[in-house]
Amino acid sequence: MSQPTTDQMSLILFSGDFDKAMAALTLANGAAGRGMQVNIFFTFWGISLLRRKNLESKFFLEKLFKTMMPVGTENLGLSKFNFCGIGPWLLKKLIRQKDGQTTQDLFKMAIDREVRFIACEASLKLLGIKKEELIEYEHLEVAGVDTFLHSALESKIAMLI
Amino acid sequence: MSQPTTDQMSLILFSGDFDKAMAALTLANGAAGRGMQVNIFFTFWGISLLRRKNLESKFFLEKLFKTMMPVGTENLGLSKFNFCGIGPWLLKKLIRQKDGQTTQDLFKMAIDREVRFIACEASLKLLGIKKEELIEYEHLEVAGVDTFLHSALESKIAMLI
Amino acid sequence: MSQPTTDQMSLILFSGDFDKAMAALTLANGAAGRGMQVNIFFTFWGISLLRRKNLESKFFLEKLFKTMMPVGTENLGLSKFNFCGIGPWLLKKLIRQKDGQTTQDLFKMAIDREVRFIACEASLKLLGIKKEELIEYEHLEVAGVDTFLHSALESKIAMLI
């Protein structure tokens, strides 16, 4: 009741695109840098960022979707001008030239800043992705939409990307 | 003043994609399930979900856009890997295999849970879609951006998809 | 402390698409029309709207991205049914037939209503776009994510498009 409260921000990362993930992670790192508590709910295509490896699936459709979706932040596409992967490759080169931060760098920074990651339970179940296929991170949990709503209700900023 | 208040969530569904609509409706049903009042403002491509039939239009451009835009939740595309409709068809199959809920199921659930639907007046006017072409639903109204802003100002969560 | 406060809305315009910019600017003008203070943070592809001219760049990759990204509100594409520019051209025709407002009209209105524009510093640096390549507007500033977060924390509505 009389506890000091920390401002919170809750993001939904629905997209698995390099550029959109960059935007979400820049916001997350900025807010965490201000001392805010940040929660990111990774759902649908956004699950890609949390993937560490791809365990073989027995079911054809699962296998298909799991093969199409990137594993980790290294292999994301662009939401525009993707050109079969040339776009993100060029953008990464440009970012390096400018000493900027790529999605990978921002993702690591978010982990350093202890941003809370929530992997959408329903998305994992749908795609047949097991928890052991995700990155190992102390502040990663698997939970449902209710967990997100709970944190969004306590947040000053809630956005979907 | 001393009335008990219900927490509100207001969403803008700008997208008419199967996967994005799924995300919006999952959020809506989750929040309604918690006892929150949920408002969804359907605008632009999002109008597709509310369409029940396609009345012939006399004007060429109207006809063109109305023909390109899906009618109802059955015919939505995916924001990624659409492949001329194969993507959503496979995703629906996968959802069925897992006893999950498709966009259609979630849409019906939102209606059962009395989520308030607002069809964007300007979008309807632009596309020449009449109210009788939309689904019949007690809690569907046609209104403008001001109605959305009013509800967003009273909401704890406001997001655009 | 005892000052009368104005409700605020803060938007991130990440997208440079005609239809999404239309949605963002409709929201912005609606809120400004209600007397709210509106802040738009233009980032990544959204920077396109603020571009006035394209100064030659010495670096190949900068030049490439700067050439691919539209200059100003006149040349934006659609997020769906773009068909190499035919989509937005037809949509603009349709809007004119209905006496509606195009993205250009809404952009001018936002300037008339003194909506505050913030051009994302990191995006400009990345793309090598200088401030003199942007529109001249009293309420346009170049700033970082922290400026956005500050305004979002003071806003009743914060959304990303």
DSSP state, residue B134: B
Using the Cβ of B16 and the Cβ atoms of chain C, whether some distance falls under 8 Å is answered with: yes
Are A43 and A74 contacting, i.e. CB atoms less than 8 angstroms apart?
no
Pairwise CB contact (< 8 Å): A23 & C44: yes
B-chain residues near A152 (CB < 8 A): 156-157
Q: Give CA–CA dist B127/C107, Å, rounded.
A: 21
State CA B84 to chain mean position distance. Answer: 22
A138 to A141, B33, B82, B134, C16: CA distances (angstroms): 8, 30, 35, 48, 37
Using the Cβ of A96 and the Cβ atoms of chain C, whether some distance falls under 8 Å is answered with: no
Element (H, E) at C8: strand C8-13
| pLDDT confidence bin for C1, thresholds 50/70/90 | very low
Within a 13 Å sphere around the CA of B1, how many CA atoms are in the beta-carbon half?
A: 0
Nearest by Cα to B153 from C31, A70, A101: C31
The position carrying tokens 């690591």 is: A108
Using the Cβ of C47 and the Cβ atoms of chain A, whether some distance falls under 8 Å is answered with: no
* Pairs of CB atoms within 8 A across A/C: 62
The pLDDT of residue C4 is: 61
Cα distance from A138 to chain C (closest Cα, Å)? 26
Pairwise CB contact (< 8 Å): B157 & A160: no
Are A65 and A127 contacting, i.e. CB atoms less than 8 angstroms apart?
yes
The position carrying tokens 């994510």 is: C145
Cα distance from B156 to chain A (closest Cα, Å)? 6
User: Is pLDDT at A4 greater than 90 in this prediction?
Assistant: no
ipTM of the complex: 0.94
Residue A135 corresponds to which amino acid? I
Using the Cβ of A55 and the Cβ atoms of chain C, whether some distance falls under 8 Å is answered with: no
Query: Which portions of chain B are predicted below pLDDT 50?
Result: 1-2
Q: What is the tens place of the pLDDT at every residue in A28-66?
A: 999 999 999 999 999 999 999 999 999 988 899 999 999
Whole-number average pLDDT of chain A: 95
C30 to A138, B41, C110: CA distances (angstroms): 43, 14, 9
Rg (alpha carbons) of chain B, rounded to whole number: 16
| CA terminus-to-terminus distance, chain B | 33
B18 to B33, B40, B63, B105, B150: CA distances (angstroms): 22, 16, 23, 12, 28
Using the Cβ of A149 and the Cβ atoms of chain B, whether some distance falls under 8 Å is answered with: yes
Using the Cβ of B145 and the Cβ atoms of chain C, whether some distance falls under 8 Å is answered with: yes
Using the Cβ of B99 and the Cβ atoms of chain A, whether some distance falls under 8 Å is answered with: no
| Nearest CB to C161 within list B16, B152, B160 | B160
Q: Give CA–CA dist A31/C150, Å, rounded.
A: 9
Interacting residues of B93 by C-beta distance below 8 A, sequence separation 6+: A61
Taken in order C12, C14, C18, C19, the sign of the CA dihedral is negative
Q: Give CA–CA dist A102/B21, Å, rounded.
A: 29
User: Is pLDDT at C2 greater than 60 in this prediction?
Assistant: no
Pairwise CB contact (< 8 Å): A7 & C153: yes
The pLDDT of residue A132 is: 95
B160 to A25, A70, B42, C31: CA distances (angstroms): 18, 25, 10, 15
Which chain C residue is nearest to residue A95, measuring alpha carbons? C126
Burial string for B68-86 (b: 16+ CB within 10 Å, else e) reads ebbbbbeebbbbbbeeeee
Are A156 and A81 contacting, i.e. CB atoms less than 8 angstroms apart?
no
The pLDDT of residue A84 is: 86
| Nearest CB to B149 within list C34, C91, C161 | C34
Pairwise CB contact (< 8 Å): B45 & C80: yes
Using the Cβ of A27 and the Cβ atoms of chain B, whether some distance falls under 8 Å is answered with: no
The pLDDT of residue A1 is: 47
Among residues 59-88 of chain C, which lie with CB inside 8 Å of chain B?
Answer: 79-81
Give the 3-state secondary structure of residue B90. Answer: helix
Which chain B residue is nearest to residue C100, measuring alpha carbons? B126
Cα distance from B94 to chain A (closest Cα, Å)? 6
Cα distance from C36 to chain B (closest Cα, Å)? 10
Pairwise CB contact (< 8 Å): B27 & A159: no
Which chain B residue is nearest to residue C22, measuring alpha carbons? B44
The pLDDT of residue A18 is: 96
| Nearest CB to B125 within list C26, C36, C98 | C98
Nearest by Cα to B153 from B36, B39, B2: B39
A-chain residues near C14 (CB < 8 A): 19-20, 23, 161
Q: H helices of C70-144, where?
A: 86-97, 103-112, 121-127
DSSP state, residue A51: B
The pLDDT of residue B83 is: 85
Interacting residues of C110 by C-beta distance below 8 A, sequence separation 6+: C25, C28, C29, C32, C38, C40
Are B124 and B47 contacting, i.e. CB atoms less than 8 angstroms apart?
yes
User: Is pLDDT at C153 greater than 70 in this prediction?
Assistant: yes
Which chain B residue is nearest to residue A62, measuring alpha carbons? B94
Average pLDDT on C57-85 reads 92
* Pairs of CB atoms within 8 A across A/B: 62
Q: What is the tens place of the pLDDT at every residue in B38-49?
A: 999 999 999 999
Q: What is the tens place of the pLDDT at every residue in A59-111?
A: 999 999 999 999 999 999 999 888 888 999 999 999 999 999 999 999 999 99
Pairwise CB contact (< 8 Å): B14 & C27: no
Nearest by Cα to A94 from B72, C124, C133, C39: C124
The pLDDT of residue A3 is: 56
The pLDDT of residue C152 is: 98
Pairwise CB contact (< 8 Å): C98 & B126: yes
Give the count of beta carbons closer than 10 Å to the beta carbon of residue C133.
Answer: 18
Cα distance from C108 to chain B (closest Cα, Å)? 18
* Percent of chain C clearing pLDDT 90 (strictly above): 91
Q: Give CA–CA dist B119/B144, Å, rounded.
A: 8
